[in-house]
Amino acid sequence: MSLKIGRVVDMMVAIAVLLAVLPVLALLCCATWLQDGANPIFVHRRIGLGGRSFPCLKIRTMVRDADARLRHLLETDPAAAAEWTRDQKLRCDPRITPFGAFLRKSSLDELPQLLNVIAGHMSLVGPRPIVQGEVARYGRYFRHYCLVRPGITGLWQVSGRNDTSYRRRVAIDTVYSRSKTVLGDLAIIGRTVPALMLSRGSY
C-alpha cells in the first residue's frame, strides 16, 4: 500500500512542480541551445526499477563532442583516468560548458526528470540512476538498487553527494532500499532544499 501511496504522491507533486517551473525550464533550454545550436535536452540510457533501462532526461551541460573529449583526456592524462575509474566523475571536466557548470551546481539540469517521474521511470526520491557500466560496482548489492525507482533526489544527494566515495554511495543506496518509507522520503525532500542551497558535492 505504501508503494501505491508513494506513486500517487510522486505523480501529484511532479505534475504540480512541472507546471510551476515550465517557464524556467523553457528559458534554460533556450539558453543551452543558444550556446551552440545543439539539442538542449540530453537523453541517456539509465538503469531503473527491476534492472530495466529507461531514457533519463537532463538539460545538456556538455559540449557537442563530449565523448571524443573524454576519450582523449583519459588517454593522455593518467590522473584524470584514475579519477574516472575511481568515481566515474571528474572534478575538472573539460566537457562541461560554463552555463552547464551553473546548471550542475544548481541541479537545474535535472528538471526534465520530472517527466521521467510522471512516466513512472523515476521517483521523486531514490538512488541516483546509474548507467550499465556502473552495475559491476554495486556487485551483490545491485539487487537492492533494482528494488526501488531511481530518484531526482535521495539519501546520497543529501549525504555529501560527489564528496563521498563510490563505495559509500553503494552503501547509502542499499540502506535506502532496505528502509524506504513515505515519511522517510518526505524527510529526504526536506533535507534536499538546504543541500541544494549549499551546493554540497555538486559538480
pLDDT tens-digit series, residues 54-63: 999 999 999 9
**With pLDDT > 90 as the criterion, what percentage of the chain qualifies?**
59
- Within 10 angstroms of residue 63's Cβ, the number of other Cβ atoms is 17
DSSP assignment string, 48-110: -GGG-EEEEEEE--B-TTHHHHHHHHHHH-HHHHHHHHHHS--SS-TTB-HHHHHHHHHTGGG
Q: How many CB atoms lie within 10 A of CB 122?
A: 27
Whether the model clears a pTM of 0.85, i.e. scores above it, the answer is yes
Q: What is the pLDDT of residue 66?
A: 87
